[in-house]
Structure 1
Amino acid sequence: MTGLKTSQLIRRSKVAIVFMVGMLGALIVFSNATDYDSNYIYLGHILSMDTTGSHLMYRSINSEMMHHRIYWMIMTLETIFTSACLLGGYQLAKNINASDEQFHEAKKYAVLGFLVALFVYYFCLQVIGNGWFDMDQSKDWNAMKWAQSIVDFLLPALIFLVLKVDS
């Protein structure tokens, strides 16, 4: 470690974090593709609000066709964030010894991937899933803790990624 400068370690840690988020996405995409029914059923319960006991049932979506479309939209967004993070990690790794400006510019895909992931896990699941579909009222079909744990990692990781402290 004596030959490794702090700036080099910071750059490597940014590459590692981006690849970790990309791998998270890859596992999620793989799970959705190989076990479509489990996650589809989960989303169907959230959208139909059938286990919330909510008095806001007029907000529910009970169309199976819409459940599939929304699920495919989420899976598409997860594939986009995964691809962007893996490409972003590659771009960062490729530019690990480049100038400060080149390394910073190489963050574009990673930043895009993080933003799409935040859209899915914060906006779609927490804001819409909880704020509109009362997901937090369901004991069995509640993804709040899972989505929150992802957001709790992504947001500080995004801030760390975009900071220019890697020179």
Structure 2
Amino acid sequence: MNSITTDKIIRYSKLALMTYISFFGLLVMYSNFTDYASNYEYVSHILSMDTTRENINLNYRAITSPMLHHRIYWFIITLEVIYTAFCLIGAYYLFHYRNAPAEEFHEAKKFSIIGLLIAIFVYYVCLQVIGVEWFNMDESQTWNAKDWARHIVDFILPLLIFVALRTER
């Protein structure tokens, strides 16, 4: 038991948490590819603003082109694939360098950090900022993912800080 140090536990916890967020990304990707129609419908309603209250001052924001709906949805899917790939690679590198000197382990975090930053872009900027503030997603009774996105960001942001901190010795 004496061989298990706090430093090792911290390293393994960073690895475990990166594995968790990678698993989440894989599930999101699986959902998007296997149930494209349902997820597309969500994106379409949000962009069209057809389930929010009528507001003449905001109607100009709506995007009603199905072609643009598909392109925006594929942009989101692409970002989700990219962040998941970076998080998976990051978890691999954390595993590979788990017993390396502190400097090498710290440098192994770069893929994890990039993946988490992209994930924050997807769930905070795309969903919470653009979806809520621009397309009024929070006013939709049916197609509102504001709280779902917030819960994801509430996990990713502290994870980013925890992974990036140089606590290893």
| Band of TM-score, shorter chain | over 0.9
1:93 and 2:124 aligned = no
Match of 1:73 in 2: 75
Match of 1:13 in 2: 13
**67-76 vs 157-166, greater mean Cα deviation:** 157-166
Q: 1:117 aligns with which of 116, 119, 122?
A: 119
Match of 1:164 in 2: 166
Tell me, in whole angstroms, the C-alpha distance in 2 between the residues paired with 1:2 and 1:145. 43
Counterparts of 1:5-154 in structure 2, within 5 Å, are 5-55=5-55, 56-154=58-156
Alignment RMSD, CA only?
0.7
What is the aligned residue count? 167
Runs of at least 4 residues of structure 1 off by over 2 A?
A: none
Tell me, in whole angstroms, the C-alpha distance in 1 between the residues paired with 2:109 and 2:20. 15
TM-score, normalised with respect to structure 1: 0.98
Unmatched 5+ residue regions in structure 1?
none
Q: CA offset at residue 57 of structure 1? A: 1.3
The residue type equivalent to 2:34 in the other structure is T
TM-score, normalised with respect to structure 2: 0.97
Tell me, in whole angstroms, the C-alpha distance in 2 between the residues paired with 1:83 and 1:16. 16
Tell me, in whole angstroms, the C-alpha distance in 2 between the residues paired with 1:101 and 1:33. 39
Residues 46 and 141, structure 1, Cα contact 8 Å, conserved in 2: yes
Identity %: 54
Residues 130 and 144, structure 1, Cα contact 8 Å, conserved in 2: yes
Unmatched 5+ residue regions in structure 2?
none
Match of 1:155 in 2: 157
1:4 and 2:10 aligned = no
Tell me, in whole angstroms, the C-alpha distance in 1 between the residues paired with 2:150 and 2:41. 20
Q: CA offset at residue 2 of structure 1? A: 3.8
1:7-28 CA-to-partner distances (Å, cap 9, x unmatched) read 0000000001111111100000
Residues 54 and 134, structure 1, Cα contact 8 Å, conserved in 2: no
1:107-158 CA-to-partner distances (Å, cap 9, x unmatched) read 0100000000000000000000011000001010001011000000000010
SS of equivalent to 2:10 = helix
The residue type equivalent to 1:46 in the other structure is I
The residue type equivalent to 2:17 in the other structure is I
SS of equivalent to 1:136 = helix
